[in-house]
A and B are shown apart, each in its own frame.
Chain A
Amino acid sequence: MKIAVSSKGKTLDAELDARFGRAACFIVLDPNHQAYDVVENTQNLNAAQGAGIQAAKTVAGKGVGAVLTGSCGPKAYAVLERAGISVITGVSGSVRQALEQYKNGELRPAGGPNVNGHWM
């Protein structure tokens, strides 16, 4: 199963971006393989509103089954949930460290959004 990690940079050594909707990019990969894709999120970085919704649609379009991030708001969470993607929040460190934690089974899906929306 592929997963998406919100990232501040385009390599596995980049720092995980704590923000889901306005993450710099997403690293998409299958944890059992070395190869990874970088999915840009530039458009959402500058969106006036609804960045989380679009980011959720973007990662859903990559066919991922889980998202590793720092914070996820209610709208992004609702879209990810509807797409059947499990959301793991509160993750930090480098993308590589997040992956190791995930592979070791140290991360558990969040039961819901862990931050409030920015709009209301």
Chain B
Amino acid sequence: MIISVASGKGGTGKTTVATSLALSINSARLADCDVEAPNSHLFLRPVFEPDETITMVVPQVNEEKCTLCGECAAICRFNAIVTIADTVMTFPELCHGCGGCQAACPAGAIEEGRRTIGTIQHGRCNGLDFVHGRIRIGEAMAPPLIRQIRSRINPDETAVIDAPPGTSCPVIAAIKDTDFVVLVTEPTPFGLNDLKLAVETVKILEIPSGLIINRSDIGDNKVAEYAAAEKIPLLMEIPYNRQIAEAYSRGEPVVEAFPEWRERFEKLYADICNLVAGGKS
């Protein structure tokens, strides 16, 4: 089972929830898919293995075979390949690696080049398997790297994915085809606005979801009202508590700093299992 933790709004507590949830499951894996700013490792402090360099396929044109027919450019919606004068120009940084140009080329002139998009690191901590990725600085395309991280998750293990914030392509890559999405938000107008976007996203992806309200005693009641109207189960409320904030600032997972929270996160995991099982029956 794969549980993803997403939010819409950034800074609502995805990592707080993802790390403590993963630590409350027996032999789980945490996959931090926020490749532009991974931070789960700051709380779990895994012992890392050496970096693995991750590349993606980009077109490399064999000019001797190329007939300049332009089929490659015609199929590329990202303008990453263009025939001009008597040559073909490629813009690897615009390429999404779909392989369309290669498939469309009638002359077999498009060969596989490689562009480095980032690194993946594996590690172990407290009985937890850990994996995260770091996008290469200057690289714009996170989804291929996120898909690579996800390919490291074994199908038969329990994994928690710490997703990037927002609702754009990297988030889709991180949560698509997971068994459950935990949406973390805060009870503010900003939290509600972005939660709505996240809920719409999750609906399109047809993933069952539940809500955690962090800093639950600030703001107003509109997030809870919205969740009730949308029939999204409220899984947990985490108060705006100075001690939790202090533990966070020291890089201590909630369940390790406060034993009473371990029980709550174990119950959270059990509740998620029940919701997933209930949805399948």
Contacts and interface: CB of A to CB of B under 8 A. Distances in A.
A56 B138 CA distance: 24
Contact of B82 (A49, A51, A54): A54
Q: How large is the interface on A (under 10, 10 to 19, 20 to 34, 35 or more residues)?
A: 10 to 19
Contact of B79 (A54, A83, A84): A54
A60 interface: yes
B140 interface: yes
B84 A49 contact: no
Interface stretch (A25-33, A34-42, A74-82): A74-82
Given A50-B91, A119-B93, A57 B84 contact: yes
Q: How large is the interface on B (under 10, 10 to 19, 20 to 34, 35 or more residues)?
A: 10 to 19
Classify the secondary structure of A's interface with B: helix
A57 B82 contact: yes
B78 A84 contact: no
Interface in A62-102: 75, 78-79, 82-84
Contacts of A56: 84
Enumerate the 7 nearest inter-chain pairs by beta-carbon distance, A residue then B residue, closest first.
A50-B79, A53-B79, A83-B85, A83-B84, A82-B84, A79-B84, A120-B138
Interface of A: 47-51, 53-54, 56-57, 60, 75, 78-79, 82-84, 119-120
Given A75-B94, A79-B84, 17 more contacts: A47-B79, A48-B78, A49-B94, A50-B79, A50-B80, A51-B79, A53-B79, A53-B82, A53-B91, A57-B73, A57-B82, A57-B83, A79-B82, A82-B89, A119-B93, A119-B94, A120-B140
